[in-house]
Amino acid sequence: MKFFVDSADVAAIRELNDLGMVDGVTTNPSLILKSGRDIVEVTKEICDMVSGPVSAEVVATEAKAMIAEGLKLAKIAPNIAVKVPLTWDGLSACKALAGEGHRVNVTLCFSAAQAILAAKAGASFISPFIGRIDDNHYDGIELIEDIRIIYDNYDFKTEILAASIRSVNHIIDCARIGADVVTAPPAVIKAMASHVLTDRGLELFLKDWAKTGQKIV
């Protein structure tokens, strides 16, 4: 499974990248706002740091304008994946951009039917929003499973990029089902290392070590 960091916080991305935990990055208008930086400037810095795909999102809602914005974003760096919404205009933009050799991440997916259309339109990634689906009293993980089955049935090359990850359990469930990628906030990825029994075990070892009166260095 590949880990993408869902953030435009350069320092947080760098920390994870230095540990080899970053296969790509996803950004969106809300994350750019949170960063307080110019979209081109911060995206370029992230692209220079991370070797994998970096998703940069268009904000237009009409296909022609999406394509124009997508082409501009794609010029930031070779590893840009243009992010478009899963609307009919977004699918048209996806088809056009993919046809010119650009990677496209189709976002805001909430159904298997939408995921099929994105794959047919040539998307490199489909981003189902697990947390938001759960918020609306449906099962986000079940959607990932449905898309996995459908994509495997027809050998679609579009990668399932599970988004709106809220917890470590979301990541584990996605790994179990076979999502190709999860994109999660830095805090959720770091939380994967935490376990109460690890903490207790370390505490016990340190107490016993102190009793030996020894030092390693």
Transcribe 33-50 into DSSP letters.
HHHTS-HHHHHHHHHHH-
Q: What pLDDT, on the 0 to 100 scale, is given for residue 202?
A: 98
CA angle 182, 66, 64 (to 5 degrees): 145
Whether residue 97 is contained in a domain is answered as yes
Distance CA 26, CA 45 (A): 13
- Residue 56 exposed, middle or buried by CB count within 10 Å (0-12, 13-18, 19+): buried
36: tokens are 């307080």
- How would you classify the pairing of strands 54-57 and 24-26? parallel
3-state helix, strand, coil in the chain (%, to 5): 55, 20, 30
Helices (H), 19-108: 29-35, 39-49, 63-74, 88-99
Q: What pLDDT, on the 0 to 100 scale, is given for residue 84?
A: 98
Domain residue limits at 125? 2-191
The answer to whether 83 is a known catalytic residue is yes
Whether residue 213 is contained in a domain is answered as no
Question: In whole numbers, what is the pLDDT of the chain averaged over residues?
Answer: 98
Distance CA 73, CA 121 (A): 20
Tell how far CA 126 is from the center of its chain.
10
Residue 177's DSSP bridge partners are: none
Whether residue 170 is contained in a domain is answered as yes
**Among the listed residues 36, 77, 81, the one whose alpha carbon sits nearest the alpha carbon of residue 56:** 81
Whether residue 182 is contained in a domain is answered as yes
Q: What pLDDT, on the 0 to 100 scale, is given for residue 71?
A: 98
Q: What pLDDT, on the 0 to 100 scale, is given for residue 180?
A: 98
Confidence of residue 108 (pLDDT cuts 50, 70, 90): very high
Confidence of residue 198 (pLDDT cuts 50, 70, 90): very high
Q: What pLDDT, on the 0 to 100 scale, is given for residue 169?
A: 97
Q: What pLDDT, on the 0 to 100 scale, is given for residue 126?
A: 98
Render pLDDT for 49-78 as a digit per residue (tens, 0 to 9).
999 999 999 999 999 999 999 999 999 999
Task: Name the catalytic one among 34, 64, 83, 207.
Answer: 83
Distance CA 103, CA 97 (A): 8
Render pLDDT for 18-33 as a digit per residue (tens, 0 to 9).
999 999 999 999 999 9
Whether residue 207 is contained in a domain is answered as no
Confidence of residue 143 (pLDDT cuts 50, 70, 90): very high
CATH code of the domain covering residue 100? 3.20.20.70
Domain count, the chain: 1
Whether residue 217 is contained in a domain is answered as no
Whether residue 42 is contained in a domain is answered as yes
Mean pLDDT on 167-181: 98
Q: What pLDDT, on the 0 to 100 scale, is given for residue 43?
A: 98
Reported pTM:
0.96
Distance CA 57, CA 187 (A): 22
- Residue 41 has a CB neighbour count (10 Å cut-off) of 11
Place of tokens 């992230």: 46
Q: What pLDDT, on the 0 to 100 scale, is given for residue 74?
A: 98
Q: Is the dihedral of CA 13, 16, 18, 23 positive or negative?
A: negative
Whether residue 206 is contained in a domain is answered as no
161: tokens are 């990029």
